Structure 1
């Protein structure tokens, strides 16, 4: 990754020249300096994707996201560019994947069936659903269940960017983000959704919580997590898929409750 202290010191003038004077050379230097962000984000997102999607495919879309971030970033607000740019890069990669129709409809259908199963079972039993209960609900064997998890792993990367409902453009992530203005409604949504995520994480199994923590908070790849937990990469991918499905259920339930008030 990038040396943050060095970045702030050596690139403040570049930001100023680009934003205030429109200096194309300063813009080029900023793009070159932050290119490692594209490699970092695309490497993380490449794990578990179909073999026909290469890291180069992700990186080419990611570069467009980086350029967009440099165009729109307000360096005077004192925010960390790497965090802002990472979201832009990730969003651009996801947009590119969507345009390429990289997730077959059959896989999306399986992900929806699994998500519905977790929703029904957890509402019925008021606790996390076990693998056996999900298998029974879907009338499938444990082997078929594991295969479904492996297949839907490729859709988990878009889990928060997908529309909440197919006919709507609003995404789960949009409910968590307040671009600039702070308004009461956004703060209420953010508070409730953070609470929903916290409760959702608490309902995960210990192994699922560990995977979520290492992947999203410690920035380890799924392969690195497999080494840490002494499990196979495919098993880590399955644990990640189950965790995402449970968290999507928690967010969807919270969103429905918000709409009722």
Structure 2
């Protein structure tokens, strides 16, 4: 428990005490103050994951992300800590899930097949591929397609958090975070990625764009989005999965293009 004199310190004073003087009590106060962020992020992520992944598991990883955020945050830049910490917490949770190998290899393989299908078809037609076209490309029935969507839904929540390239730690969503002093090569790479994402989002169906916007930009859970759109949670999950698979397919094609033109 934080003592009364410590609790009366402003956030700025706590950051100053921790960062400039290395006061461990100030660090503890900051961790305790921002713990609700861990609860918030872990609750949102738990709603999209299998039932065998508990919120407590997510929160334990998230706390490590919060501590890492407090260690690395530069309060002098004037950025909002809550935004920075939320990404760190989410990243720590996803790292923990990856280490636990919570997504079966067969599910990842199915997701990759669907991702490739969307990438090829939408490059050919320069528009959003229909379910029927994807089924024909994969040589599966519509029922099998719907089942695959349900299975890969558990992996889709982490898709945009995956590294842009396997040998790097930078993620697609990290492009939304303010970075300092990007070198020219990184700037060009970032521009290509943003253009590709913009084009990919433009090819999503209206419902898919709505789900992506509400989930990633309005911070609604899938169950909350289901209420807003008057659809079932399973239908929202499918729309989210298809949107992410389309975007991953577009990014994969862009990556191939960049490699070929090096």
Corresponding residue for residue 172 of structure 2? 173
Deviations 1:25-56 (A, max 9, x none): 11111001111111111111112211110011
Partner Cα separation in structure 2 for residue 159 and residue 54 of structure 1 = 20
The Cα of 1:170 is off from its aligned counterpart by: 5.3
State yes or no: 1:126 paired with 2:126.
Answer: yes
Partner Cα separation in structure 1 for residue 201 and residue 24 of structure 2 = 45
Corresponding residue for residue 205 of structure 2? 205
The aligned length equals 252
Higher relative contact order (CA 8 A, sep 6+): 2
Q: 1:171 to 1:21 in 2, by over 3 A?
A: closer
Partner Cα separation in structure 2 for residue 246 and residue 28 of structure 1 = 43
Q: Answer whether contact 2:163 2:172 (CA < 8 A) is retained.
A: no
Corresponding residue for residue 147 of structure 2? 147
Partner Cα separation in structure 2 for residue 202 and residue 226 of structure 1 = 22
Q: Answer whether contact 1:127 1:203 (CA < 8 A) is retained.
A: yes
Q: Answer whether contact 1:178 1:186 (CA < 8 A) is retained.
A: no
- Segment of structure 1 superposing worse, 246-255 or 23-32: 246-255
Corresponding residue for residue 65 of structure 1? 65
DSSP-derived class of the 1:51 partner: coil
Corresponding residue for residue 242 of structure 2? 242
Partner Cα separation in structure 1 for residue 169 and residue 75 of structure 2 = 28
Partner Cα separation in structure 1 for residue 232 and residue 173 of structure 2 = 34
Partner Cα separation in structure 1 for residue 105 and residue 216 of structure 2 = 27
Q: RMSD value over aligned CA atoms?
A: 1.8
Q: 1:171 to 1:138 in 2, by over 3 A?
A: farther
Corresponding residue for residue 227 of structure 1? 227
Deviations 1:233-259 (A, max 9, x none): 000000000000111112222223233
The Cα of 1:143 is off from its aligned counterpart by: 1.5
Corresponding residue for residue 4 of structure 2? none
Corresponding residue for residue 5 of structure 1? none
Structure 2, unaligned stretches of length 5 or more? 1-8
Q: Answer whether contact 2:135 2:145 (CA < 8 A) is retained.
A: yes
Partner Cα separation in structure 1 for residue 169 and residue 83 of structure 2 = 22
Corresponding residue for residue 214 of structure 2? 214
- Normalization by structure 2: what TM-score? 0.90
The Cα of 1:164 is off from its aligned counterpart by: 4.8
Corresponding residue for residue 137 of structure 2? 137
State yes or no: 1:251 paired with 2:251.
Answer: yes
Partner Cα separation in structure 1 for residue 12 and residue 173 of structure 2 = 30
Q: 1:171 to 1:183 in 2, by over 3 A?
A: closer
Structure 1, unaligned stretches of length 5 or more? 1-8
Matches within 5 A, 1:44-193: 44-164=44-164, 168-169=167-168, 172-173=171-172, 176=175, 179-193=179-193
Q: Answer whether contact 1:114 1:245 (CA < 8 A) is retained.
A: yes
Q: 1:95 to 1:24 in 2, by over 3 A?
A: same
The Cα of 1:178 is off from its aligned counterpart by: 6.9
Partner Cα separation in structure 1 for residue 213 and residue 186 of structure 2 = 26
